[in-house]
């Protein structure tokens, strides 16, 4: 049981005294960068999906004649 409590005591000590937490401004800046990146990647995937969908639709029309 000593090892168990020692582990949590050391983990708490590390989180409080050794970890460098970002400031509120740094956190906001990082969040905005992540949000913009996620939106950009989403739009790229959307464009790829629409392009592939149109391409396969046109290919099926040419092959099947529908």
0.75 cut: is pTM over it?
Answer: no
Nearest to 40 by CA among 27, 48, 28, 53: 48
- Give the pLDDT of residue 66: 61
Report residue 6 as tokens: 């020692």
What values do phi and psi take at 21, rounded to 5? -90, 145
- Give the pLDDT of residue 65: 79
- Give the pLDDT of residue 2: 87
Structural domain boundaries enclosing 46: 2-64
DSSP state of 19: -
- Give the pLDDT of residue 1: 81
Which mean pLDDT values do the consecutive 10-residue runs of the chain (66 residues) have? 91 92 96 98 98 95 84
Number of domains within the chain: 1
- Give the pLDDT of residue 25: 97
């Amino acid at each position: 049981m000593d090892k168990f409590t020692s582990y949590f005591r050391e983990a708490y000590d590390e989180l409080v005294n050794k970890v460098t937490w970002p400031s509120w401004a740094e956190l906001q800046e990082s969040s905005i960068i992540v949000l913009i990146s996620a939106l950009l990647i989403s739009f790229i995937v959307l464009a790829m999906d629409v392009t592939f969908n149109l391409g396969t639709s046109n290919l099926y029309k040419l092959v099947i004649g529908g």
